[in-house]
Structure 1
Amino acid sequence: MSVTDFQAIPNYATLRSQLNGISASIDKYTSDAPITSTRQLLEESLETKDMDGILYACKEIASWYEKNIDSIKSNEFVFNADTHEDNMRQLPHIISTIEDNEEWFDSSANSYDSPTQTRQKLIFISHSTKDSEYVASLVDLLRKIGFTDEDVFCSSYPGYGIPLGKNIYEFLKSCFKDYELFVLFVISKDNYYSSPASLNEMGAAWVQGAKSIPILLPGMSPAQLRGVVGPDSLALCLDSDNVRYDLNSLKNDLLLFFGKQQINESAWEHDRDSFLESCFAITPLSPEEISAIESADENANLADLVEDRVSLEKSLYRALVIAKEGQNKPLEGWIRSELKGYESDGDLPDYRKTKSRNFRYSGINGNMQVTKASLPMGFIRDEIMDKIEDVEYRQGIRQIEDFANSSSAIAIDRSLLAGEVAHNTQGVVKCVSLEQLLPSSFFG
């Protein structure tokens, strides 16, 4: 059947009825996020007689049908496959009709002409400041799409936040009152719901009926959403296998919202994948780190550290915040290693290496029982001593500080060498425990 075989669409009311019917049949078949987002766009555009929006949605639905019609027809649980096939075949006729009847979308009948629809459009990024690294990557992606500081509000990104001299709460209030918003909720598992400001923004967006989408950071699933943006909300999940397709849909929705032209697809795919790589390269602060940072004194200075008025551990936590804010990943990696300890197979700084040929043992020497006695050098062969005299200390900074402030000797258990000592002394010295001593100056 060609497009000319379809019955003519006489007016906008008939067009709207047919498109709502197509949307409803798709709704009964699937709740998949991308096509559902397209359906919502179609319904909103039909309400406002937005010709560009309707055309875009129809073309997206036609493309979706081409990719999915075989699966629909072969699905034994779909009893109206013929309806879907008719929908797919009818869409080119509908698209042609829309393009031939621009008068149906005359601006005099378009609700965008009303005062409430002429507001400046704005992308409002609602997030916890503890997730600012992810948000910085998102703003960079929006900039590459073509959005400027006039199009985007992000409180934690320099130049995109609250102007100098403005009252914070009054400015945020004006955003929801004076702009037509597209709100991006950037939600993490631990941080968003513990931020009163974020929850207030979510509530305000819901009350205003602003267009919005949750962007779920790694580790956050749709089932964990709560409040007015709940588990049934359409969400873009960075952990999802469909994240690239979902980002494509988000990009298209934003461009359509602002009435901007499409961008170069090859450049977009590169920028999109770079955004995902940057997100998964971020190591978020753990709840323990956040607690430690919050308990550290921001006003502590170098003199406090040198004179032991503040611990090195707390100073490193403060430095971690500075490293993350400056996106200095080498410094951030070093600080984390110092705080938590170095991996067993990772590189170790030279200052964490030392040498020791000083051993003590407890056990039997001839007919005498000894406790923590010094072990003579010759009781361990040189080739073994050469292997064990180099000591790498990989534990976290808290243990090092404890050792540096301790008056007792620091030792590594070497009891596995008891057989070596017994062999070299013809059984005269039998070690119950054997320890390699480290100089306290090393920890200091």
Structure 2
Amino acid sequence: MQKNQDIFISHSGQDKQIIDDFIDLILVGGMSVPIDKIFSSSSDGTKIKSGTDWRDSILSALQNAKINFLFISSNYKESEVCMNEMGAGWVTSAKVIPLIIEPINYKTVGVIQEPIQIEKLLDEKSLDRIKDLLQETFEIPNSLIKSDRWTAKKKEFVLKTKAFLKANPFKKPLDRQEFDDLIEENNELETTLTKIIEEKNELEKLVEDLKNAKDKSDVKEIVKKYSNTTEYDEFEILTQKVCDSLSDFHPIIIGIIFKTFSNKDITIKALAYSEEVDEALANDYINEELEAVFNKTQKMQKIEMLLDKLSLFLSKDLSSEFHEQYENEYDAPFSISNKIFWKDVLDLNLYFS
């Protein structure tokens, strides 16, 4: 390996075609960077020599490089070697330039950098900034970088890489929130499946016992035996689920959700809570008219579903025992469209101003 390799290119071997074109068209073709100043583990003329310990070669190249390019793609994120190179790159004296390749974006890149320090590989302005940095770092004279030639090579690289990516698309990466949501959804599905299996087993036992029943008295006893949940138990489970689904919202946002769901003409004065409102707007929980948006996010869809379930339960012909127990527990009106019900029964604090 040459000792004067000043440019280190950290990349996934699966992205070799993109790296080859970047070296040929941008670095060598557009900027006249000598090929022996470039280290890339997979490109001809720049890669590790046969018989050399690749770990020592990479370490030496990282330590000696003046500029460290990180070509962050979906393949890069899945490579342990690449992620190690990324971590090592931050502690060297080299200038680190992360280059993201869609569908990787500022949200999913995962490097400890501000977005303004990350360049997009297929953005011509980003490539121009890279040119300026390389020219300054290596003191490349203008005579070696002709404007027309640079522009032509830059456009050729962008068009060629876009065509390659269209023919060989990356898988879309998940950001942390999407991943957490999927894990939560999977856990809920597993819990639901376990419950369904348990209920199926209970029903099979119920059917078998009913087959052996001799008269109505036996049937009544069997039904009582398998009915472990009372109406009030079901009510408490529903109200707790509603409370849990809304408990992490600020009271002003809960107030907006209450207004929208109850369809009441309530004036929301949220000037004092601009930060909370902006956050909810950004997450598509509410709209500009300060109304809840139930159809854009899984979180809000779940809230609407739980509120609908509770509303349907309250409209049922419930037993006198249930109403007696409710009245002993609460003074709140028995209505999901009542603010006191939300405060006392659902244990939620809500503001309108």
TM-score (norm 1): 0.35
TM-score (norm 2): 0.44
Which structure has the larger Rg over C-alpha atoms? 1
Q: Which has a greater percent of strand? A: 1
Q: Which one scores higher on RCO, CA 8 angstroms, separation ≥ 6?
A: 2
